[in-house]
Amino acid sequence: MNYRNFKAHNISEIGLGTWQLGSADWGMVNEEEAFTILKTYTDAGGNFIDTADVYGMGISESLIGRFLKTIDTPVLVATKLGRRHDSLNGWPQNFSYDFMRQHIESSLEKLGVGSLF
């Protein structure tokens, strides 16, 4: 695995996209299968996981959060936001500070990280 330095962190050049873990468009991926995918990636030296709040409406983030509790290796998780249709201010109008903060807090909660603010 090759790495690049980003703000004093070595991040793997190959990230793992996790749309399929949301089980929305790819068919069901159970937790055991998801953990196998994530473990294979981290065992190969990967430490950059990409997800989004719309991947199964949080299912992907929740699976990643549970997986991260089973390993000691630090992993950077990038999550996208702003596409959920969960309020009157759904996409594309929800890029205000308050809605971005709400989406970030929701992602952190699903990932099991706690609050950023």
Residues with a known catalytic role: 55
State the Cα angle at 38 between 37 and 40, rounded to 5°: 65
CA-wise closest residue to 48 among 91, 9, 99: 9
CA-wise closest residue to 94 among 36, 25, 104: 104
CB of 64 closer than 8 Å to CB of 77: yes
For the chain, how are helix, strand and coil distributed in percent, rounded to 5? Answer: 35, 15, 45
Rounded to whole angstroms, the Cα distance separating 68 from 91 reads 29
